Structure 1
Amino acid sequence: MKKDYYRKVAFMGMLLIILLAFQKYTSKNKEDFSDIKFIESSASIELSEFDPNDLDKKQWKNLGFSERQVETILNYKNVVGGKFISKEQFKKCFAVSPDKFSELESYILLPESNNEAKSGGFKNFDKKSITISGKFNPDSYEVSDWMKMGFSERQAAAILKYKGFLGGSFISKEKFKECFIINEENYKKLSPYLILPEKTPTNFRSFAKNFNAEKSKVQYHSFDPNTLDMDGWKSFGFSDRQAQTIINYRDRNLKGSFKNLEDIQKCFVISAQKFEELKPYIKLSQSTDSNNQFKKTEIKQEKTDFSKTDLNTITFKQLLEFGLDEKSAGMIIGFRKKLGGFVNKEQILTTYNIDKELVQKLLSIAPLNTANVPKYTLTDAPEEWLKSHPYFKYSADKIIFYRISEKDERKIWKLLKVKPEYEARMRLYLK
């Protein structure tokens, strides 16, 4: 009996040792994520809409994930079939913390749930195709230039922010490719047209400093844009091609001369930032006597009764007549056109770059008629109107998608999840 007892104990001990050895062996194949630290939300990361199925390793890292986290996300994508089908599925990847997912959620171009994806009701948000007219230096491009190419306003702003991070220049095609906003497909389209070296110089930080130093060497002085030649424009920091474009614009489009500051501002190779730098030094030649101009203005002022002039029909010239400068008048007319008309006077005061004190005086005198301002419901608003209206354009694709299956506006508002202040602005233009 004692022998049988010891045999059983020995057998159990050997079995336990074998199990422990087997467990230790199989655990080697499991990944150790003990060193993973989730990236916290960072205001320094400029986000824009993206499809997580399009991103490569560099783009995930530029989005704020560590190298180990990126590997985990890509492995998880392979596990679920090589493609994320919904936000719900992406959220389950444990390399994406709840805080990080919350930060990214509104930018992810995927259906909300697996059921929504499988039902086939989800239609991917349209991706604008990139159009390139010819070779260009991305260092000289502003937000408007990138938007003309096909990027959204937020994407264009993110590209410029990345350029600023590099020191004011993209340095090389290699560095340009690392920009999170530029996916592989768009880079392949852009690459042949980029006027940049292929590889990054080993001392690219000092190169960036030298680049900024060169920019700061530009010496501005008073000048008449109607008599400035090509060398003169180049001395202000414009390239040969830009200088020639400005001269062609002046001589051909404007028949030989800039009539006012607005004409100069409209030239597309002169960015808003560059115009502000040049503006204090611009001295336009005047062909008419200043006293006569004053008399004409005085006569015009007598003709306009601003207490009877509707702010939704007031003209550019009438705003100048009231005393606003050309920039303020242009900004008000432009903002009104984008909105389709003002619905309250407070909106006019939110217009950028205006003389608010003078505008406040105008608002206290002039009436505002809102009868002709177009208004819609979320379910019947035209797609073009939604995509172009300043208050709706960032939510336009979502509204168009959600209203396919939802006709109750209250439910659509819940799905949109916009901030209360944005919703209040949008409701101004809804029935």
Structure 2
Amino acid sequence: MMNRNYYTKIAGLGILLLFLIAFQNYSKAKNESFPEVKFISENNSMLELTDFDPNDLNEKQWQHLGFSSKQISTILNYKKMIGGKFLSKEQFKKCFAVSPEKYAALESYILLPENSKDTKSGNFKGFEKRTLTLSRKFNPDHSSLNDWIQIGFSERQAEAILKYKTYLGGSFVSKEKFRECFIINEENFQKLSPYLILPEKTPSNFNNSVKSFKSEEIHYYSFDPNTLDLEGWKSFGFSDKQAQTIINYRERNLQGSFKSPEDIQKCFVISAEKFEEMKPFIRLNSATIVKEIKQQEKTDFSKVDLNAVTFKQLIEFGFDEKAAGSMIGFRKKLGGFVNKEQILTTYNIDAELTKKLLSTAQLNISSVQKYTLTEAPEEWLKNHPYFKYSADKIIYYRVSNPDDKKIWKYLKLKPEYEKRMRLYTK
């Protein structure tokens, strides 16, 4: 009898111990802060962007924009939660899988009104949801930029379609390959398919045919990219629009000249494959580079404040438009940089060029707004990149415990998260 009672007590204690362990793990998980969201792209410099409606994209198309599988899942779940459709850029921006830097890079390409008020009033501020108009069958290999625009695509979308054709070797080859073009969503493909004069399936010798097309049609020769004109770039297989884009990039972004072959590689209309084809023929003349270096002396960057540096000055220093926009957007979201290391975490920037800027320019943090956790406005907490994942907890805890030390203790943050949050607290 005693043995039976003894084992019964032991079993009861075991069950109680298991329950306490499970409860402890649950509490720990519940208080754990959100992980930092990072966008990973093995080839950010070659990311091709064009106009898109986030409501139309499938998983593969989200991947094309640089999102990971987990981030895509979060975006799609968020879309379901808000009713199955993004109604505005403002709504899309609130998805926590879309970082401020990523949103800054995508914003100008999103085919949505700015906010919900614009949706209701019809004031879409330039937003235009296009419909395709087709009246007869056509061979897409023969369609020009204007032809695609007349069908119903935007100019940027038309450029992307033509670039994709160039990537394939000058021909869409088949409906199957045409369907793989990033900008052709499933709905538009179904509309276009009956009108396309293309075979249904891709030929088994497709790769060989692309290679032979390129070798027969394009003849490279030694050239200085700083003196090559529109016709010269076109002779290398670029369309009128692509050739003009390269020249504009050289004249506007780089102030008149390429400094190195890497500058050419960074131009978004030149694919990695195309650059490798041209690379052996590039002959940079030092005389044409000097002009660009002298022009860069307009701004003394040793006197520039990183919290006040303009988009135009970043372009002058050597950043491309996407990188400059990302840095300005990230700074605005933070309310100003507190230390230079933060700038290196900006999405879509050239790390080496950024380090050069950081070693040259100054950083004045006197105008950066800081708060205590008990005084911080709710809107500031919910929108600040470092605080938004803990905003609800902070607002909850400070109601009954208006003491910063206690709130920090209750948050139970990872050291690295707390460290960066404290940059913006008094």
What's the TM-score, normalizing by structure 1? 0.42
Higher relative contact order (CA 8 A, sep 6+): 2
Over alpha carbons, which structure has the higher Rg?
1
What's the TM-score, normalizing by structure 2? 0.43
